[in-house]
Amino acid sequence: MALTQPINMRQIAQLARLELTAEEDLAFTEQIDQVLRYMDVLGELKLEGVEPLFQPHDLPTAFRVDVAHPFGVDSNGQPKTLASAPDVQDSGFKVPQIV
In a domain, 91, yes or no: no
Residue among 48, 33, 45 at smallest CA distance from 2 = 33
The pairs formed by 32-40 with CB atoms below 8 angstroms and a separation of 24 or more are: 32/7, 33/3, 33/7, 36/3, 36/7, 37/3, 39/1, 40/1, 40/2
Q: pLDDT (tens digit, 9 = 90+) per residue, 1-57?
A: 566 677 788 899 999 999 999 999 999 999 999 999 999 999 999 999 988 887 777
Q: Total structural domains in the chain?
A: 1
In a domain, 20, yes or no: yes
In a domain, 84, yes or no: no
In a domain, 69, yes or no: no
pLDDT, residue 49, reads 92
In a domain, 63, yes or no: no
pTM of the model: 0.46
Domain span at residue 34? 9-43
In a domain, 22, yes or no: yes
In a domain, 13, yes or no: yes
DSSP codes joined into one string, 34-49: HHHHHHHHHHTS--TT
CA dist list (Å): 5 to 2, 36, 75: 9, 12, 75
pLDDT, residue 20, reads 92
